[in-house]
């Protein structure tokens, strides 16, 4: 996707009322060439009061590039399983966490806001179902780094509402209440919306979604896109929850992007409202 399209996409999301848009990732262009334009995209984003643009950083080099670009919000991304850590980050779980620690320390000392993603919290394509205790143990290590927010991810979309309740309860018992946790669900098995509702019922208030239901993971091939933002907003508005998002503008944005990509949007709300 050309940088100009990414910039317009993010700008349109902001215009639709979204106030936190993960803009890009300062990973190595060698490994993820699609994101080689990170600095260019970030520099061109509209600066609007109250709008945050978190960016992913995998290591100190990524943090250097993010800070040079002027980022004030960053995210690190760890895994709850050894196998996915090696496939996604090319290093084991302990080694990955040891690399993230100084990144978080420097970021916080520089006044940056830090999110910690924890992927494969419910299942791993190589290791199967991930034990609750294993997820909690890694989450505790991330929280001990004094990250501002922990986001638990269902990277391959195998979670179900019961499993979500169980994991959130286990995290709460370990001192990480749902109000301090964000959730990030992929929709591989069509459970992302129901899983998010389960998290809301437990007290989670920070919800990840992807406009148009886009996404996936190049290191976990079974993965589909994230929960569609439009589907989430439709549900939240139906629950009487104010989001500040203009659903009509959001749908138009995702329909436009689907045209740029030459494929239909997987979002049911986009397909229903955009025709």
**How far is 157 from 146, CA to CA, in rounded Å?**
28
Q: Is 151 a catalytic residue?
A: no
**How far is 215 from 186, CA to CA, in rounded Å?**
8
Q: Which of 121, 147, 151, 217 is catalytic?
A: 217
Of residues 195, 173, 190, 191, the one with CA closest to residue 182? 195
Structure tokens at 18: 């979204």
Count of CB atoms situated within 10 Å of the CB of 208? 22
Structure tokens at 148: 């501002």
SS3 string of 123-182? EECCCEECCHHHHHHHHHHHHHCCCCEEEEEECCCCCCHHHHHHHHHHHHHCCCCHHHEE
CB 249 within 8 A of CB 17: yes
Bridge partners (DSSP) listed for residue 52: 20
Which are the contacts of 18, defined by CB distance < 8 A and separation ≥ 6? 51, 229, 245, 250
Of residues 27, 44, 45, the one with CA closest to residue 36? 27
Of residues 250, 271, 253, the one with CA closest to residue 18? 250
CB 199 within 8 A of CB 163: no
Q: Which residues are catalytic?
A: 217
């Amino acid at each position: 996707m050309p940088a100009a399209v990414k910039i317009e996409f993010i700008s349109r999301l902001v215009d639709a009322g979204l106030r936190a848009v993960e803009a890009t990732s300062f990973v190595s262009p060698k490994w993820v060439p699609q994101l080689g334009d990170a600095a260019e995209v970030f520099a061109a984003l509209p600066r609007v009061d109250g709008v945050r643009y978190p960016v992913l950083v995998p290591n100190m080099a990524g943090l250097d590039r993010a800070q040079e670009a002027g980022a004030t919000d960053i995210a690190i991304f760890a895994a709850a399983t050894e196998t996915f850590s090696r496939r996604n980050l090319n290093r084991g779980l302990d080694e990955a966490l040891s690399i993230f620690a100084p990144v978080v320390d420097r970021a916080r000392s520089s006044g940056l806001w830090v999110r910690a993603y924890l992927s494969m919290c419910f299942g791993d394509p190589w290791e199967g179902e991930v034990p609750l205790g294993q997820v909690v143990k890694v989450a505790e290590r991330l929280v001990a780094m004094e990250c501002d927010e922990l986001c638990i991810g269902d990277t391959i979309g195998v979670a179900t509402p019961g499993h979500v309740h169980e994991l959130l309860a286990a995290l709460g018992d370990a001192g990480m209440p749902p109000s301090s946790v964000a959730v990030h669900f992929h929709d591989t098995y069509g459970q992302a919306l129901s899983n998010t509702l389960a998290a809301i019922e437990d007290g989670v208030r920070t919800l990840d979604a992807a406009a148009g239901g886009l996404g996936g993971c190049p290191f976990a091939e079974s993965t589909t896109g994230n929960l569609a933002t439009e589907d989430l907003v439709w549900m939240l508005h139906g629950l009487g929850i104010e989001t500040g998002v203009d659903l009509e503008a959001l749908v138009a944005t995702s329909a436009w992007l689907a045209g740029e990509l030459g494929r239909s949007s997987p979002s049911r709300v986009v397909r229903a409202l955009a025709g």
